[in-house]
Amino acid sequence: MAPTTSSTQWNALGSCLYPAEAWVHLRTVLRLSDRELAVAKGIFAGQDDNGIALETGIPSDLVYRTTQRIYIKLKIGSRMELIARIKAEYRAVLADRFTSVTRPS
């Protein structure tokens, strides 16, 4: 039986790359489940399926199936497209932050 994984472990993936609030926003915008977000973070961090499996505690075949679900959900076909989509969404978050800041007179 595979060990259970807490959302804290899943949130550790990718947390050093983007701030936690960015991942929360990305999860909402991309409509990802907790597991899909964990896998996406691992892919974004450059891990292969086995590395993501070790980090999250979920079986590598489930990592593979989850990756395929992400591809279908986001209408993409590769890890590189996923990384590009995450970067694009993050840039949009940054753009929103900077455009909403008012400049002093």
Residue 13 and residue 55 in contact, taking contact as beta carbons nearer than 8 Å: yes
Which helix (H) or strand (E) segment holds residue 66: the answer is: helix 60-74
* 3-38 per-position pLDDT tens digit: 444 444 444 445 567 888 888 889 999 999 999 999
Domain with residue 89: its CATH number is 1.10.10
Q: Which residue has the higher pLDDT, 16 or 84?
A: 84
Residue 86 domain flag: yes
- CA atoms of 37 and 54, how far apart (whole Å): 16
17-20, long-range: CB < 8 A, 24+ apart:
17/41, 17/44, 17/45, 18/90
Residue 76 domain flag: yes
Q: What does pTM read for this prediction?
A: 0.76
Query: How many domains does the structure of the chain reveal?
Result: 1
Over pLDDT 70: what percentage of the chain?
A: 76
Please give the angle made by the CA atoms of 5, 87 and 33, to the nearest 5 degrees: 30
Average pLDDT over residues 90-99: 76
Mean confidence (pLDDT) of the chain: 83
